[in-house]
Structure 1
């Protein structure tokens, strides 16, 4: 998998606003923190609609964080949730807000 193409992370606008004030984003996925999960779940652009439908269908006011992997200061790994499954990008550490190059509304 390419680590130069931007990756994306779907989140609630309020959580992103809190992260901007703090300087780092530490939510792994809906209802789970980086500390609980061990990494931040991300997607490719192509995977995003399925991720949104599976985990965020009933959540209003979502934003897409567009992340430049070259600006990360922590490891990025593409991993499958189970053997043989599709690989998703995972960020192993806090996401610096400076690595987020765009924020787009979702939905």
Structure 2
């Protein structure tokens, strides 16, 4: 199973240089939030993009993460105010745990 995380391309570049990724979500670090927000699938990812990254003009990338390579727990939880569960990564993401990095393309209208 792969989980997904939406990231600023600049944050990912910094993570590659550091060897690990420590951004929880837009403007919040792992240290501030306590975990890194992730998505179970592309539908969740597009929802997160629409809710939290709509006004962002910087390039975004999708990190596909192999939970087996993390070395920390991944807990599926329902965030306060949400109607569905999301995977939360309770530790930094080693660069080696990221299997692919692709530019984010916003979802089109439902068909």
Given the two structures, how large is their TM-score scaled by the length of structure 2? 0.88
Q: 1:1-107 counterparts in 2 under 5 A?
A: 5-45=1-41, 46-59=43-56, 60-82=58-80, 85-107=83-105
Provide structure 1 residue ranges, at least 5 long, that are not aligned to the other structure.
none
Task: Give the gaps of 5 or more residues in structure 2.
Answer: 106-111
Paired residue total: 103
**Partner of 2:108 in structure 1?**
none
Q: Distance in 2 between matches of 1:83 and 1:21?
A: 35
Distance 1:106 1:29 in 2: 15
Runs (4 or more) in structure 1 with deviation over 2 Å come to 82-85
